Structure 1
Amino acid sequence: MAEPRGRILVVIPTYQERDNLGPVVARLHAAVPEADVLVVDDASPDGTGDLADEMAAADPRVTVLHRAGKQGLGAAYLAGFAEALRRDYQVVVEMDADGSHPPEDLPALLAALDNADVVLGSRYVPGGVVRNWPARRQLISRAGNLYSRVALGVPIKDITAGFRVFRRQVLEELDLDQVASQGYCFQIDMAWRAVLAGFRVREVPITFTERQRGASKMDTSIVVEALWRVACWGAGRLVQRTPTVLRADRPAAEPPQATKPSHVTEPARATEREAGDEAVSDGPVRT
């Protein structure tokens, strides 16, 4: 029997996503009606934050965290994680606002959490699909994942994946104050930290579809940051001779306990040896 997962918060960072946010949240609530949504908006000039406020006024499952300006994807997620921990959520989901992460696949990610601590929605395991992505973007993505796997010695096929689910304990135990990465490097950083800490990571195939509205936030600086940081981490791993699979002696995590939703009155504050959905870490299954 699957264990109770407890309260779920889906963190959705936004910047210039007014045309996409409404449809994405509607699809999300159709797929997982019990999930709450936290929109983290970086003062979008197109009024995304205003739309999010309207959605929150109409649906108690939606709340909004407004930030002063565009500060990067990593900082937005860290702010969302802090809010999730403050509000006693047991499961925290990362999801993009542009529609590339299919909300219809979220139930499968949540189900995989029964035997894992972190679940990645993966494009590059069997069953994963990428649709309508330019060849250049696919090349950058696949090359970045290969580079990261080799440099870090982490056998995750899609370590840059941005559609993922965390147990609360992962976010509590990782030193999030030390995470300074932005762009998709933030995703590499978080996954690697989880593996090194002995948490069990799994990949589940998803269908990734290129956005239909709006512009991608990808630029050269994001790629350069990832190359540099991964190179530094990889060099440090070799110097310290840090093995890929660690901490098999970690005690099993306590299962998340279902809690009654509480009314929030204060405002939000600013190795896997084969591909598939098997566990990456050989640490204990946290049940």
Structure 2
Amino acid sequence: MGKFFAGIVLSFLVIFLAHIIFLIINAYLWATEGLESLSQQRDFVETVYFSVVLKWLILVDIIWIIFALGSALKRKKYKTEPQYYLSHNPIKDQRIAVIIPTFNEANNVEKVVKDYIMQSNVKYVFVIDNNSTDKTPDIAEKCGAIVIRKKINKGLADSCIIGFNEVLKTDANIVVLTECDGTYNGYDITKMVPYLDNCDMVVGTRIIQVLTEKGNQNGMFNTWGNFFIGKLVQLKYFSLLHMGVTSFTDVGCSHRCIRREGLEKMIEQIRIDHQKKTDSDGWMFLPYLNLRSIDSELKTVEIPITFNKRSGISKSGSDRKSKGFKLGLRIIWLVLMS
């Protein structure tokens, strides 16, 4: 499916670029030769109309549209089996395990750990420390967290997977993934967990302005970039009947809740994919997890959550436009080819 979807999207981009180049060239010719052609009684519009290049562009457009429509019709009932519709499976005796990856978060870790420990039904808080050079793991332990100290910084994805493995050793039936930068609020668990009665994974979205703190790290570039990639994911899993089995507006949000059985269903493939080392720094893990959940036949729902200003410096550097742009291109390629 990855190569097929990539072919459709990339061919569209090539055709779109060809049209733009054609328009620019003809606009330039009109600006330089348009008046002259009029004085010599030659119809510039007629010249463009009979252009061989234009005819080829129109032919390619028609072929692409026919192919795209045919593909859409074939996907009319994509993922429309009964298991992809409403179900109600309440989680009784909720036991929540929270995973907090950390790296040099001594100024934030106490507040974050205590915030999650105090939430209802939270039984375990795991801090997966990425070989911090400050007192982050010591502070976390004093606050009551279970700390896993890594000897080597292997990135975010590695920390999340270690956290998943540790949680699956416990009796927790709900897994929460969050960050240690103070951008998320523990109380959002109370709005996310109820959705697990109807699905396998609940992902937050940070694009609702009234739920975000002014001056947060998601500027215009990040917001629209995440939204665009989210819709690209939705297009990948498009079905003509319901516009797709899922809907995303924020692929970079790490705050999420997962049913234990949902995590168990996809953890082995997550481990296998991680061993391929295609994501060296781990910053593509969050959109990857969204894709993996769908490919593992899980039901995933996105809901609005609150979002605060970050305390400290962003580890991913995505708040810098150049690095954010490069990361965005990597994620787009992941969506196209996975």
- Tell me the TM-score normalized by structure 2: 0.61
**Corresponding residue of 1:153:** 236
Q: Secondary structure at the match of 2:216?
A: coil
Q: Is the contact between residue 94 and residue 121 of structure 2 (CA under 8 Å) also seen in structure 1?
A: no
| 1:6-45 correspondence to structure 2 within 5 Å | 6-32=94-120, 34-45=122-133
d(CA) in 1 for partners of 2:209 and 2:217?
Answer: 21
The share of aligned pairs that are identical, in percent, is 25
Describe the superposition over 1:120-179 as per-residue Cα deviations: whole angstroms up to 9, x where unpaired. 1211369753532256x4412431331343266253112221100111122212111133
d(CA) in 2 for partners of 1:166 and 1:33?
Answer: 14
**Match among 297, 317, 329 for residue 227 of structure 1:** 329
d(CA) in 2 for partners of 1:223 and 1:77?
Answer: 24
The one-letter amino acid of 1:99's match is G
**Corresponding residue of 1:281:** none
Describe the superposition over 1:89-118 as per-residue Cα deviations: whole angstroms up to 9, x where unpaired. 211110111110111111111111111100
Q: Confirm whether residue 177 of structure 1 aligns to residue 275 of structure 2.
A: no
Structure 1 residue ranges without an equivalent (≥5)? 57-61, 237-287
Q: Confirm whether residue 74 of structure 1 aligns to residue 74 of structure 2.
A: no
Change in Cα spacing, 1:156 to 1:53, as seen in structure 2 (3 Å) is: same
d(CA) in 2 for partners of 1:222 and 1:126?
Answer: 21
Q: Confirm whether residue 139 of structure 1 aligns to residue 231 of structure 2.
A: no
The one-letter amino acid of 2:222's match is I
The one-letter amino acid of 1:76's match is S
Task: Give the Å deviation of 1:224.
Answer: 2.9
**Match among 270, 290, 299 for residue 191 of structure 1:** 290
Change in Cα spacing, 1:195 to 1:125, as seen in structure 2 (3 Å) is: farther
Which structure dedicates a bigger proportion of its chain to helix? 2
d(CA) in 2 for partners of 1:193 and 1:84?
Answer: 19
Change in Cα spacing, 1:127 to 1:116, as seen in structure 2 (3 Å) is: farther
The one-letter amino acid of 1:231's match is W
d(CA) in 1 for partners of 2:272 and 2:220?
Answer: 30
**Corresponding residue of 1:83:** 166
d(CA) in 2 for partners of 1:79 and 1:35?
Answer: 18
Task: Give the Å deviation of 1:63.
Answer: 0.6
**Corresponding residue of 1:105:** 188
The count of residues paired between Structure 1 and Structure 2 equals: 229
The one-letter amino acid of 1:86's match is K
d(CA) in 1 for partners of 2:254 and 2:135?
Answer: 24
Structure 2 residue ranges without an equivalent (≥5)? 1-88, 238-246
Q: Confirm whether residue 165 of structure 1 aligns to residue 247 of structure 2.
A: no
Report the aligned-residue RMSD. 2.5
d(CA) in 2 for partners of 1:202 and 1:125?
Answer: 16
Q: Is the contact between residue 103 and residue 131 of structure 2 (CA under 8 Å) also seen in structure 1?
A: yes
Q: Is the contact between residue 131 and residue 207 of structure 1 (CA under 8 Å) also seen in structure 2?
A: no
**Match among 64, 68, 81 for residue 147 of structure 2:** 64
Q: Is the contact between residue 287 and residue 331 of structure 2 (CA under 8 Å) also seen in structure 1?
A: no
The one-letter amino acid of 2:188's match is D
Task: Give the Å deviation of 1:43.
Answer: 1.7
d(CA) in 2 for partners of 1:55 and 1:2?
Answer: 31
Change in Cα spacing, 1:86 to 1:55, as seen in structure 2 (3 Å) is: same
Bigger RCO of structures 1 and 2 (CA < 8 A, at least 6 apart): 1
Bigger mean CA deviation after superposition, 224-233 or 85-94: 224-233
Q: Is the contact between residue 113 and residue 140 of structure 2 (CA under 8 Å) also seen in structure 1?
A: no
